A and B are shown apart, each in its own frame.
Chain A
Amino acid sequence: MGDVLVFAEHRAGSFARTTLVAVNAGLELARKRAGRCLVVAAGENAGQAAKELARYGVAQVVVLEHPALARYLADAYAQALAALARRLGVEFVLATATAVGKDLMPRLAARLQAAMASEVVAILDDGAFVRPMYAGNVLATVEMTSPLKVLTVRATAFDPAQPSGEPAPIERRDAEIAPDALKMQFVAFAETKSDRPQLTEARIVVSGGRGLKSGENFKTVLEPLADELGAALGASRAAVDAGFVPNDLQVGQTGKVVAPELYIAVGISGAIQHLAGMKDSKVIVAVNKDEEAPIFSVADYAMVADLFKAVPELTEQVRKLKHG
């Protein structure tokens, strides 16, 4: 029997869609391995998150308590989760491949002497997993042979869990942590303030590249379109490196992976590293003045045009559609 322990990421009790993706992937894996899906939450207001998550068809929710877990830090969380995974005797520990998931799960895997598969996009019936490599140019089918197995799942590859059945029991446990071994210290968090939807949650994403030429143009040309569409803002690496927008807007192999219903790429050439982060979007629109730009090879709708003319026109047309 292969039980699955899902690490539920949350911030002060509230969690994003990505956490429900982990729960759903956990439920799928548990079903395929004839096991149960258990969820663990820790940190400030974890009880609140636990209460919510108990409604999603899982077998049990564990709240891990310890002062060292108040804020996420890899060393404390890896210790506490490893001890819990052993106590519960689970076969799998799973999280979504967010910044926290990517930071924590390999450390946990090493502690559990477990194999680890990153960014899993499919769970096969025979216990194998599919994961992308080489910027999404290759799909690898992998098997893990260790008794305990650790994985992160890609948020775009699974649907979020839906509420179902009776709420699961919630159990509070003291985390097993050796405080002497903890050396990491939180200093500060500088939040990127934005009123827009989160990049990884949004139904529509408008992304800009080097073609925008400046941060100012992002504001005056691209943002009005995003606002009109209620879209999240994204960017290519070149736009981020040039300082047009904050780092966490980078879409791609080494940035965020998104798959919204509509992705609009503006002034982005479509390097393979960028495509890796958006080519599973449902509908792709590209605006680029270069007819040969590789982005057009994945675009459903191609607009060969100067963005400084085309984008304001687009904004205007969307406004007309919305407001008649």
Chain B
Amino acid sequence: MKILVPIKRVPDPATTIRVLADGSGIATDNVKWVINPFDEIAVEEALRVKEKQPASEVVVVAVGEPAWQEQLRTALAMGADRAVLVRISPPVDTGAVARILARVAADEKPDLIILGKQAIDDDSNQIGQMLAELLGWPQATFASKVELADGRCTVVREVDGGLETLSFPLPGVITTDLRLNEPRYASLPGIMKARKKELKEIPVETLGLNLAPLLKVRRLASPSKRQAGRKVASAAELVSLLHSEAKVL
């Protein structure tokens, strides 16, 4: 079983994000960069498959700048076998990343691709679904449980109002939700081993794709801040204010 896991470099979720005064981007000084949390879950899920089926190979791939090597190395240290960095210079939109990943998938021929459901920087929640369509593969988004047997994949999905179970023949695309697993930390021996693992770089120009963005960001702004309100001393006071002042009860 060969599993491809696309990962993105994003600001640590605990970072306070500030928009630059000219609206051209966010301030990146003092930002700690990490693997997108959903993608860590994707790496973990792939590693668990490999533990059950030791002949498996887990390949992590990122579409980004040279600095993204850091996150690929972290994934290798967690236990992934190989890494691919497709080097681009921004801006690219989600569609372009999906087209690049589809090309990588065509070369690598994985049985399964596991992505995060959403990158916590752009909050798009698009690329897994786009990739599935470009490849003509089935998709199971927002996975909270994955089972592989007899060339089929059965996925429990977090949807509105409950849990849905889908099944499809491999190859296919899965996107992870938070409850799928608890990602491991890279161990020290893992980190040592990762240094010797292959990290292949592909300049995007060599893929000959049209990557002109169809979605352009004109500017960024900060949303208006909500004001902190008042303290209430008792339940009686609160209910009375909600009734007579806020008029919501």
Chain A positions within 8 Å of B, measured between CB atoms, are 73-75, 78, 98-100, 102-111, 113-119, 128, 132-146, 181, 183-192, 198, 200, 204, 229, 237, 240-241, 246-248, 250, 253-254, 261-262, 272-273, 279, 282-285, 296-304, 310, 313-314, 316-318, 320-321
* Complex partner residue of B229 from A191, A229, A301, CB under 8 angstroms: A301
Please, which residues of chain A bring their CB within 8 A of the CB of B161?
A: 191-192, 198, 248
CB of B211 within 8 Å of the partner chain: no
Judge whether B127 and A106 touch: CB under 8 Å.
yes
CB of B249 within 8 Å of the partner chain: yes
Judge whether B162 and A98 touch: CB under 8 Å.
no
CB of B33 within 8 Å of the partner chain: no
Judge whether A262 and B214 touch: CB under 8 Å.
no
Please, which residues of chain B bring their CB within 8 A of the CB of A299?
A: 228-229
Judge whether B160 and A254 touch: CB under 8 Å.
no
Shortest distance from the beta carbon of A69 to any chain B beta carbon, whole Å: 16
Judge whether B217 and A253 touch: CB under 8 Å.
no
Q: Which residues from 140 to 197 on chain B have a C-beta closer than 8 Å to any C-beta of chain A?
A: 140-142, 144, 154, 158-169, 172, 177-179
Please, which residues of chain A bring their CB within 8 A of the CB of B127?
A: 106
A248-B162 contact in complex given A114-B214, A317-B238, C-beta closer than 8 Å: yes
A144-B234 contact in complex given A138-B26, A184-B168, A237-B178, C-beta closer than 8 Å: no
CB of B232 within 8 Å of the partner chain: yes
A107-B130 contact in complex given A116-B94, A132-B123, C-beta closer than 8 Å: yes
Shortest distance from the beta carbon of A231 to any chain B beta carbon, whole Å: 11
Among B38, B144, B154, B179, find the residue whose CB has the most chain A CB atoms closer than 10 A: B179
Q: Which residues from 204 to 249 on chain B have a C-beta closer than 8 Å to any C-beta of chain A?
A: 213-223, 226, 228-232, 234-236, 238-239, 241-243, 246, 248-249
Q: A78-B133, A302-B229 are in contact. List 4 more A-B contacts (CB 8 A).
A: A135-B17, A189-B164, A272-B13, A317-B236
Judge whether B130 and A109 touch: CB under 8 Å.
yes
A118-B124 contact in complex given A134-B17, A137-B222, A247-B144, C-beta closer than 8 Å: yes
Please, which residues of chain B bring their CB within 8 A of the CB of A113?
A: 95
Judge whether B166 and A184 touch: CB under 8 Å.
yes
B 93-134 to A, binary, CB cutoff 8 A, 1 in contact else 0: 111001000000000000000000110111111111111111
CA distance A317 to B248 in the complex (A): 14
A109-B241 contact in complex given A100-B159, A145-B214, A282-B248, C-beta closer than 8 Å: no
10 example contacts (A-B, Cβ-Cβ < 8 A) are as follows A99-B160, A103-B139, A116-B130, A128-B218, A143-B215, A184-B139, A186-B165, A254-B118, A313-B236, A317-B235
Judge whether A138 and B93 touch: CB under 8 Å.
no
Shortest distance from the beta carbon of B235 to any chain A beta carbon, whole Å: 4
Judge whether A142 and B165 touch: CB under 8 Å.
no
A146-B214 contact in complex given A183-B169, A241-B179, A262-B248, C-beta closer than 8 Å: yes
* Complex partner residue of B129 from A103, A140, A187, A188, CB under 8 angstroms: A103
Judge whether B226 and A279 touch: CB under 8 Å.
yes
* Complex partner residue of A141 from B141, B169, B218, B249, CB under 8 angstroms: B218
Judge whether A321 and B243 touch: CB under 8 Å.
yes
CA distance A163 to B22 in the complex (A): 43
Judge whether B220 and A140 touch: CB under 8 Å.
yes
CA distance A316 to B239 in the complex (A): 10
* Complex partner residue of A118 from B16, B95, B123, B239, CB under 8 angstroms: B123
Judge whether B165 and A188 touch: CB under 8 Å.
yes
Residue of A nearest to B119 (CB): A133
* Complex partner residue of A143 from B13, B98, B138, B218, CB under 8 angstroms: B218
A110-B214 contact in complex given A75-B139, A103-B142, A189-B162, C-beta closer than 8 Å: no
Judge whether B214 and A248 touch: CB under 8 Å.
no
Please, which residues of chain B bring their CB within 8 A of the CB of A272?
A: 13, 16
